Copies of this chain bind each other. A is one copy, B any other.
Amino acid sequence: MPHLLIVDDEQDMIDLVTMYMENAGYTVSSALNGEEAETKLKEDRPDLILLDLMMPGRDGFAVGESIRSYSDVPIIFLTARGEEWDKVRAFSLGGDDYIVKPFSPGEMTARIQAVLRRFGRVEEKKEMIRYQTLAIDVHSRTVRVEGSGVQLTMKEFDLLVLLAKKRGRIFSREELLEAVWGAEYRGGTRTVDTHIKTLRMKLKNEGASIETVWGIGYKFVDGAV
């Protein structure tokens, strides 16, 4: 899970952003000024820095320049509209980013994720598969449809993930059996049908996303809807 360092001279802002970010699943350090920021950078080795531009003493831009001289940790500047716009923009060309206050939690996490991805620092914290109201968390093996959790058995879950991961691809029953049940399975292919049936039923409206390809097998519908 990525770790963030928040640098701002206002404790209130730090608290707010910390709350936002911990809620989004990040761990957070903070610093009230440039010196403390550089110390924490060395100690906590954050994956990304959120750096306020307007600070007494060395301003955010100076701190950023200093950090850049020895570290390539990505920086997102927090700035009020109209503040030192050009300098931030110039800096951001290096691959960093900036967020204009006031900002929403959603905006902030989106920007952070984008920057982390760009910097290759995000070791996919969650492997999620989404389609309409269907959300599959591959690692925790949980599924939600229309916001509410759905209880799937192991075979059902594996089947769903296999199909949903490769939308549009058609799987024959034999392929599904080999992938989910294993090569040494020796039973009828009708077993697949039964599991598809229960899956469709449990997925309620989204069950229609699993389509029968007549004479061939099954597929999870392609397309963005």
Q: With A93-B106, A132-B71, A224-B121 given, is the CB distance from A168 to B153 under 8 Å? A: no
Closest residue of B by beta carbon distance from A3: B223
Contact B132 A46 (CB under 8 A): no
**Complex interface bits, A160-176 against B, C-beta within 8 A gives 1, otherwise 0:** 00000000111000000
A139–B110 CA distance with the chains assembled, in angstroms: 34
| Across-interface contacts of A198 in B (CB, < 8 A) | none
Copies of this chain in its oligomeric complex: 2
Is B95 touching A110 in the complex (CB atoms < 8 A)? yes
Q: Is the CB–CB distance between B73 and A93 below 8 Å?
A: no
A182 at the binding interface (Cβ < 8 Å): no
Pair A224/B141 contact, Cβ less than 8 Å: no
Q: Which 7 A-B pairs have the closest CB atoms?
A: A45-B223, A73-B224, A140-B168, A154-B215, A93-B110, A93-B107, A71-B225
